[in-house]
Chains A and B, each alone.
Chain A
């Protein structure tokens, strides 16, 4: 079926391509629990913090998916799926829908497919992904750079110049490092790496940011090898 809207976007993308991604979302085992039918009542939008600041509507996700409107789904997958803060305030739905949960699945499908819009959306997060996946910590002092926090104003520049000093001035034990937020043991890192690898998270990164993937794999490989694990042969890890 053709798009029903006169102002439909992505009309140049073949229907089959859109349907493939739509079916990937629909066949996810979580999907039937996240979506029933939609009243289009807007209670989810009223509860949504993102909707107050962006042109973003969890209702549109729920109603589009409930109607199985494949064309509008593809628009959302490219243009709106990254605007959600994943707070799940939208679960106030009287039909017990979970628009945020639908978005979770859609994001995974977008990443797994290596959709260009997903790559663009996630580019700004590569530093955070690197930190989380390599150290298990999210923000470390050395990430406080003016380029990445323009909204902090001139203060962030001053802070970034003397990170080491600031760090030493903090009374609790901080290891006097600026590369980590807190001490992450080798055992923890080792377990994290196994989880990223075994759950397929590392491969998801490969789909959206190959450079980041290569850096991460190198870091992981080194530690894994030290402990006698082969990153390309994970059967031996599972046996342990």
Chain B
């Protein structure tokens, strides 16, 4: 028996799981298919983290540094898991990289393969994402905010009016994604503050169904955006984004006012939600992990065990198990590390 834990995915949840494993004194193989660690916050160029707005690179570097260079950590960048044989505690896992493949022996696994952002042009074109240059996603906006220059892609000029459309790809029976993606309200509000910070005279409106500002996000983000930056939050979903002449027009109802709206906008930002990543679905298949009804990796403890999959020795952390914010992902990473190590220890002690 190898006595090793494999963590698949080098994002926030995977990094925290790897750190937990090595801090508990076990050997960890950390597999990441990209060429760098940090997961979506780094690969998707998040400007700052929600809710405390710490610089993403700085924050993630701290996580990465806690793992890289540790003698118990065997980090495999640019590697994918392509085959799994056997069962815990004697998995034989095939790692594939550009330089070839290798079979490694491991005892337990933490799957932390994350999510992908909803593609707003996939199911419907009502928001004109692929049609209009000035219709963006939260992810596109992050890239611009990270660069420190927030301008209309069509003109290169600073926008005077910007709106966010919430719940794009979430809470929608029409497209089959019935879940709330949990983070988009906070991220959109964070971006709204960042935009107002760069462009104080820009009018920023968030069109929403419900604002879900859990815990401390309430006053740290939502109140702050309203009271200090006068970001407008209007309850009412945009039905379509159209163009009138050169102007983008969003249509909707202000439901608390009970009045119909037609608002010209310089930029529209679609708050795209989460879906299980391709890696998450691939790992589910290879490790024979059942999916829960929304298509994420199933856990079997309900709210009391957020990381245990129905397959012995296989644990899940972060958004591979469903939409999660950073706090939840990190907490799950730690819990999964603990259980993955405890799984090995139980066998070692029994033997």
Residue ranges of A at the interface with B (Cβ–Cβ < 8 Å): 1-2, 4-7, 36-38, 40, 42, 59-60, 63, 66-69, 72, 95
Contacts and interface: CB of A to CB of B under 8 A. Distances in A.
Interface of B: 160-161, 203, 205, 222-223, 226-227, 230, 232, 234-235, 254, 256-257, 259-264
B212 to A, nearest CB: 13
Contact of A40 (B161, B230, B256, B264): B256
B230 A67 contact: yes
A86 to B, nearest CB: 23
A63 B223 contact: no
Contact of A63 (B160, B161, B256, B260): B256
| 10 residue pairs, one from A and one from B, having the closest CB atoms | A37-B226, A40-B256, A67-B232, A37-B227, A6-B260, A5-B259, A4-B263, A4-B261, A36-B227, A68-B230
Contacts of B230: 66-68
B256 A6 contact: no
Contacts of B261: 4-6
Given A1-B161, A36-B223, A36-B227, A7 B235 contact: no
A4 B238 CA distance: 13
Contacts of A40: 235, 256
A7 B259 contact: yes
B227 A7 contact: no
B203 A38 contact: no
A5 B226 contact: no
B161 A6 contact: no
A60 B259 CA distance: 12
A6 B262 contact: yes
Contact of A5 (B223, B227, B254): B254
Nearest to A32: B227
A2 B227 CA distance: 22
Contacts of A4: 205, 254, 261-263
Contacts of A68: 230, 232
B226 A66 contact: yes
A222 B230 CA distance: 51
Given A1-B203, A40-B235, A68-B230, A7 B256 contact: no
B203 A5 contact: no
Contacts of B254: 4-5
Contacts of A37: 222-223, 226-227
B138 to A, nearest CB: 22
A5 B260 CA distance: 6
A60 B262 CA distance: 19
A63 B259 CA distance: 14
Contacts of A60: 257
Contacts of B262: 4, 6
A38 B226 contact: yes
Contacts of A36: 223, 226-227
A72 B259 CA distance: 11
B256 A2 contact: no
B257 A2 contact: no
Q: Which of B254, B260, B264 has the most CB of A within 10 A?
A: B254
A69 B261 CA distance: 13
A56 to B, nearest CB: 14
Contacts of B203: 1
Contacts of A59: 256
Contacts of A7: 259-260
B211 to A, nearest CB: 9
10 contacts: A1-B203, A2-B264, A6-B259, A36-B227, A37-B226, A59-B256, A60-B257, A63-B257, A67-B230, A67-B234
A191 B46 CA distance: 66
Nearest to A1: B203
Nearest to A66: B226
Contacts of B260: 5-7
Nearest to B250: A4
A95 B254 CA distance: 21
Given A36-B227, A63-B256, 20 more contacts: A1-B160, A4-B254, A4-B261, A4-B263, A5-B257, A5-B260, A6-B260, A7-B260, A36-B223, A36-B226, A37-B223, A37-B227, A60-B257, A67-B230, A67-B232, A67-B234, A68-B232, A69-B232, A72-B257, A95-B223
A4 to B, nearest CB: 5
Contacts of B263: 4
A72 B261 CA distance: 13
Nearest to A64: B257
A72 B260 CA distance: 13
Contacts of A66: 226, 230
A58 to B, nearest CB: 13
Contacts of A42: 256
Nearest to B256: A40
Contacts of B256: 40, 42, 59, 63
A39 B227 CA distance: 11
Nearest to A95: B223
A31 B232 CA distance: 18
Contacts of A72: 257
A63 B236 CA distance: 14
A36 B264 CA distance: 27
A7 B257 CA distance: 12
Nearest to A68: B230
